[in-house]
């Protein structure tokens, strides 16, 4: 044992250093938030409760029932039931998500070619029964009205819905390398 180590041992230096650290933390400001009294604004693009986009012009869902979102969903928690309309167009009779099985990966949002589905930034939801977490088409459209209507929803789609057609544009001639 060196002399320095011996002096440190005799003077209990490590214990004193530990106490100094504890004391520093006791007087420094707390970083803990008193949730739910204190809340932080959710970050844009947060992956919370699902919503079906309501088309501003028609007032109906944008969804055309193509089923891509359900095919991509790793949890297999999206269920879509369609029928054929008079003009041979698909009608989305039922669009349902079992939210309790969702892992919030947002693959459904990315798979949708019509920007018809979003994840809102609403994450504080709870319930006593499983049924409360079974979201029907009507409830998903209500979520859009409640949490994403107007500019907010459009900004979400603009910034977080990928890929867009511009992502497939040919690279400019000036661009070099991979
Ligand atoms: S976020 Fe992921 S797990 Fe949840 S419904 Fe969409 S694809 Fe399925
Ligand atoms: S991918 Fe989009 S348009 Fe197709 S069924 Fe899903 S939400 Fe509807």
Rounded-to-integer distance, Cα 174 and Cα 100, Å:
48
* Residue identifier of the C-alpha nearest atom 4 of ligand 1: 102
Q: For ligand 2, atom 1, name the residue with the nearest CA.
A: 112
Contacts with 75 (C-beta within 8 Å, 6 or more apart), sequence order = 98, 101, 102, 103
Per residue in 101-149, pLDDT tens? 999 999 999 899 899 999 999 999 899 999 999 999 999 999 999 999 8
Q: What distance in angstroms lies between residue 3's CA and the mean position of ligand 2's atoms?
A: 74
User: For residue 83, what is the enclosing H or E element?
Assistant: strand 78-84
pTM: 0.78
Tell how far the Cα of 118 is from the centroid of ligand 1, in angstroms: 10
Ligand 2 centroid to Cα of residue 109, in Å, is: 8
Helix, coil or strand: residue 44:
coil
Ligand that lies nearest to the alpha carbon of residue 104, given by its number in the listed order: 1
Q: Which of 2-6, 12-16, 34-38, 78-82 has the highest mean pLDDT?
A: 78-82
List, in order of start, the domains of the chain with CATH numbers: 50-161 (3.30.70.3270)
Total Cβ atoms within 10 A of residue 13: 13
Mean pLDDT of the chain: 89
Q: How high is the pLDDT of residue 66?
A: 94
What tens digit of pLDDT does each residue of 69-110 get?
999 999 999 999 999 988 888 999 999 999 999 999 999 998
Which atom of ligand 1 is nearest to 103's Cα?
Answer: 3
Which atom from ligand 1 is nearest to the alpha carbon of 106?
A: 1
Q: 102 C-alpha vs ligand 1 centroid, how far in Å?
A: 5
Structure tokens at 166: 């511009």
CB atoms within 10 A of CB 66: 17
| Ligand 2 neighbours (beta carbon < 6 A) | 63-69, 80, 111-112, 114, 116-117
């Amino acid at each position: 044992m060196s002399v320095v180590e011996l002096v440190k041992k005799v003077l209990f230096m490590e214990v004193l250093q530990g106490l100094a650290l504890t004391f520093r933390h006791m007087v420094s400001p707390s970083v803990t938030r008193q949730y739910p009294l204190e809340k932080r604004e959710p970050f844009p693009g947060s992956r919370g409760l699902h919503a079906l986009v309501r088309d501003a012009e028609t007032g109906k869902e944008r969804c055309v029932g193509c089923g891509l979102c359900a095919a991509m969903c790793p949890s297999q928690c999206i269920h879509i039931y369609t029928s054929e309309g008079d003009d041979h167009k698909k009608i989305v009779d039922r669009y349902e998500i079992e939210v309790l099985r969702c892992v919030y990966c947002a693959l459904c949002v990315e798979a949708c070619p019509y920007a018809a589905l979003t994840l809102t930034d609403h994450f504080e939801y709870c319930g006593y029964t499983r049924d409360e977490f079974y979201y029907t088409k009507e409830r998903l459209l209500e979520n859009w009205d409640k949490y994403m209507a107007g500019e907010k929803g459009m900004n979400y789609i603009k910034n977080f819905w990928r890929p867009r057609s511009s992502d497939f544009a040919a690279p400019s001639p000036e661009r070099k390398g991979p």
